[in-house]
Amino acid sequence: MRGYFAVGVDGISKPMNLGNLLRISHAFGASFFFSIAAQVSLKEAQSDTSKTQEALPVYAFRSAADFRLPVGCRLVGVEITDDAVELPRFRHPSRAAYVFGAERMSLSKDVLSRCEFVVRIPTRFSINVGMAGAIVMYDRLISQGNYGERPMAPGRAQPALPERHEWGAPVVRHRK
């Protein structure tokens, strides 16, 4: 898989949710984590049993105006809006930062206005931010990973596609 991704939250106020999303981001291999206008601190996020902040950079921005991303990183808001693209129809950018809203709120207008893309998970109603994060990261993994097509028959796995260098040549792995 090429590129990288980051995960962040806008205005989060529940320590358990912050910790869960940190842990899920770490488990799926996020390159960094960020918060914007968080109402809780990392110290309060005791549900992050993987100790994410020891494994990857975690950035805290006081406001949307202070928020910065690396050059070329595209901001993807995850929100229920009329014009949001349903997640199964979305092509993930190779360099992306996914931002999720607070528990009882949506993404702030300031953060939403900075999103290059807005996607929604096709559920009947809003779900927990940790669960939403896991679904988005899993969708990214499946759509950008090296898994090949799904099998035609139940339970029958297709071989994975060979990894490729930028110029298209297969990556050769030698066993010791």
Domains for the chain: give ranges and CATH numbers: 4-144 (3.40.1280.10)
Q: How many other β-carbons are positioned within 10 Å of the β-carbon of residue 64?
A: 19
Cα 71 to Cα 48, 96, 113: the distances in Å are 29, 11, 18
138-157 per-position pLDDT tens digit: 999 999 877 777 777 887 66
Q: Let me know how long the chain is.
A: 176
pLDDT at 126: 87
Query: For residue 99, is pLDDT > 70?
Result: yes
Enter the pTM of the model.
0.83
pLDDT per residue as tens digits for the range 5-47: 999 999 887 777 887 898 899 999 999 999 998 866 666 656 6
